[in-house]
Structure 1
Amino acid sequence: MSVQPASPAADLPRLQAGGSPQHLLLTLLGDYWYGQRAPLPSAALVALLGEFGITEVSARAALSRLARRGLLELSKAGRHTSYALSARAAEVLTEGRGHILSFGAERPTWAGRWTVAAFSVPEDDRSRRHALRTRLGWYGFAPLYDGLWVSPHERVAEVTAILAELGIDRATVFTAELADGGPDGGHPIRAWDLDALRAEYERILAGYEPVRRRWRNGKIGTAQALVARTELMDDWRTMPSLDPELPTELLPDRWPRARARELFVELYDGLAGLAEQRVVQVVSGYDADLAALVRSHTSHGHPSHGPSNHGRSNHGRDG
């Protein structure tokens, strides 16, 4: 059996409070340089990060670190340095982008079956214990008990492959339905902290509702659109790692995931044209031919076709 690829997030820089320059840059390249392998001048990339308050020193350090990690490829022409996405980074961004943009869409009715992984790894084998738990988390499992992890989705092939790859023999993988009449405290949904998860959705809704109001009223310019859209994507990309799209049948009433996705789609798609304009403006200052290749895409995977707004748009830099 072939081993399933690791989660795209595994190859990306770890998220930090406020957004790390490395992660921010990959988000920008994924959103506006999608499908392109042509190198961009380092000065243009530094300027793009400058839109988010990243200093030149921090921006150039991020470029160097991404190159050392094999996510960017460096090229030089005289005194000018350029960077292109590596083949691995392009693949990771493509896979991750599809997962992130589809997250929270409507899913079929849940069949009521759980995938359960029970295992025993010696305490002194810490590296394999950590690797197993990390990989299970990538596929949406959570620990109901120390050696018993559960997922509400069909994940038998994935978890079996992980166990084989790590050489863990003392393990059992099975699917199961919850028996009626069991203790409430043992329900598998308790493997997730639903209060904390709800708070994350509510944070996104509260944080970006003012942006949505300003956009609908035509009061967002290109620079503001770029910053808001990119920060929204960075916030939304964390949600699949927190919520493995838990079935609605298991969730409390008025669960905020659908409302959060609705807001994400409206802003991500609606701000695309304005944000793209700002990227074009920045890159044009260094290479007009490359600026012509800049493209944004919607949540449905389609290229954006210029600015979109419900009301009057301010297309200037600081509107």
Structure 2
Amino acid sequence: MTAATNHADARASQLIRQILAETPLKAAGFIVTIYGDVVEPRGGVAWIGNLIEICAQVGISETLVRTAVSRLVAAGRLSGEREGRRSYYRLSKSAGSEFAAAARILFGIPQEGNWQFVHVSGPSIEDDMQTLKRAGYARLGSRIVVGPARLPAEAVPGLIFHADMPEDHDALKAFALEYWDLPSYARAYETFLEQFGPLSALVEIPGISQATALIIRLLLVHRYRTVHLHDPRLPAAALPDNWPGKAARRLFSHLYLRLSPAADAFVARTFLTASGPLPASTPATNIRIEMLTDGAV
């Protein structure tokens, strides 16, 4: 290990400890991130020993890992399989579909589009309202929501009324500010920028270790996923000027692209399935890199 690598890893360790102190991890959530970033695009199977080793680097004990994995199995997110003395865990089909959909949001280029009103009907109105809220809709009444036309029609639980984008962007901004809690999302993005901004210079230092690159990338994805998937992701015309989500997106893309060569090499060197090591890259991981690269242009 060179002096440059020692310096980079020491500085990275300091920043990692600071991020973990400010936003502590929960075992199940971080394991979901490992599967989403590393395992799902490489087939969906991982040895529990790898999960234990990675989680130990961020202060999550083996006991907490095993407990969290058991709960994910009970929830139908993972299924276990044994090969000799080793246990491997595979994503369920439904979890794999959810992870793939989340990846399209995290790595894909943000899409602009029209808006729609939805009149929710049926026996589970409140549950459907919560589903639409998680998809970025705002509640206007007991059964009416409004939001970007993002979900496929078959996934919308109610009558859909399409709406054109208003020409008066100032009025649209005022409307969005009234019905969405934009200040809380802005603060979350600003915290993300404060935590991960110092890493921009660090990843430019030649020789950062592969293990450190993966840990930083996992924390990056974990924090950005937490913020971005909760954000209603409104069209740019509805957002305040200098919206911090734009800078957060640029930072996420920059760091992910810079960290990935070393991080993926570490994955290929250490992550195992019953049939052998995980590959450094697959068509699915390549698509993620291409989408981030295209979005950064």
TM class by smaller structure:
0.7 to 0.9
Pair 60,154 (structure 1): closer, same or farther in 2 beyond 3 Å: closer
Paired residue type of 1:227: I
Q: Is 1:162–2:157 an aligned residue pair?
A: yes
Give the percent of matched residue pairs that are identical in Structure 1 and Structure 2: 25
Correspondence for 1:98 among 104, 107, 119: 104
Deviations 1:47-90 (A, max 9, x none): 12222221010111122222222322212244332222333333
Gaps in structure 1 of 5+ consecutive residues: 1-16, 164-171, 304-319
Q: Is 1:279–2:267 an aligned residue pair?
A: yes
The structure that is helix-richer by fraction is 2
Q: Is 1:175–2:162 an aligned residue pair?
A: yes
Question: How many Å apart are 1:186 and its aligned residue?
Answer: 7.9
Highest Rg: 1 or 2? 1
Paired residue type of 1:202: E
Q: Which residue of 2 aligns with 1:117?
A: 118
1:48-87 superposed matches below 5 A: 48-87=54-93
Correspondence for 2:255 among 247, 258, 267: 267
Structure 1 SS opposite 2:249: helix
Correspondence for 1:231 among 219, 228, 232: 219
Paired residue type of 2:189: Y
Correspondence for 2:281 among 282, 295, 298: 295
Pair 174,274 (structure 1): closer, same or farther in 2 beyond 3 Å: same
Counting matched residue pairs gives: 264
The higher relative CO (CA closer than 8 Å, separation ≥ 6) is in 2
Paired residue type of 1:203: T
Structure 1 SS opposite 2:139: strand
What is the distance in 2 between the residues matched to 1:239 and 1:80? 35
Alignment check: 8 A CA contact 2:172 2:237 kept: no
What is the distance in 2 between the residues matched to 1:264 and 1:192? 24
Pair 77,139 (structure 1): closer, same or farther in 2 beyond 3 Å: closer
Correspondence for 1:243 among 217, 227, 231: 231
What is the distance in 2 between the residues matched to 1:190 and 1:225? 41
What is the distance in 2 between the residues matched to 1:54 and 1:204? 21
Q: CA RMSD in A?
A: 3.4
Q: Is 1:46–2:52 an aligned residue pair?
A: yes
Pair 69,152 (structure 1): closer, same or farther in 2 beyond 3 Å: closer
Alignment check: 8 A CA contact 2:39 2:45 kept: no
Paired residue type of 1:290: G
What is the distance in 2 between the residues matched to 1:45 and 1:58? 11
Correspondence for 1:194 among 173, 182, 186: 182
TM-score normalised according to structure 2 size: 0.74
Correspondence for 1:142 among 138, 147, 150: 138
What is the distance in 2 between the residues matched to 1:49 and 1:83? 15
Alignment check: 8 A CA contact 1:35 1:90 kept: no
